[in-house]
Amino acid sequence: MKPITNLHDVIAGKSAPPPCDETIGVRLAEARDGYAKGVWTIHESLLNGNGVIMGGFVGAAADILMAYAVTTLLRDDQLHASINLQTTFHRPAAAGEAEVEARVEKFGKTVAYVTAVVRQNGKEVASATSSVLIMDKP
Q: What is the pLDDT of residue 44?
A: 95
pLDDT at 4 > cutoff 90: no
Whether domain 7-136 has CATH 3.10.129.10: the reply is yes
Q: What is the pLDDT of residue 3?
A: 59
pLDDT at 1 > cutoff 70: no
Residue ranges per domain, the chain? 7-136
All residues at 6 or more sequence positions from 58 whose CB lies less than 8 Å from its CB, including other chains: 87, 89, 93, 118, 125, 126
DSSP E strand stretches across 35-77: 35-42
Tell me the C-alpha to C-alpha distance, in Å, between residue 78 and each of 37, 42, 57, 71, 127: 22, 31, 27, 9, 27
Q: Please, are residues 128 and 59 in contact by the beta-carbon 8 Å criterion?
A: yes
pLDDT digits (tens, 9 = 90+) for 93-111: 999 999 999 999 999 999 9
pLDDT at 74 > cutoff 80: yes
Q: Which sign does the torsion angle of CA 75, 78, 79, 84 carry?
A: negative
Q: What is the pLDDT of residue 131?
A: 96
Q: What is the pLDDT of residue 138?
A: 84
All residues at 6 or more sequence positions from 64 whose CB lies less than 8 Å from its CB, including other chains: 20, 21, 24, 26, 38, 100
* Amino acid sitting at position 20: C
What's the whole-model pTM score? Answer: 0.95
- Confidence tier at 61 by pLDDT (50, 70, 90): very high
Determine the average pLDDT of the residues in 58-84.
96
pLDDT at 137 > cutoff 90: no
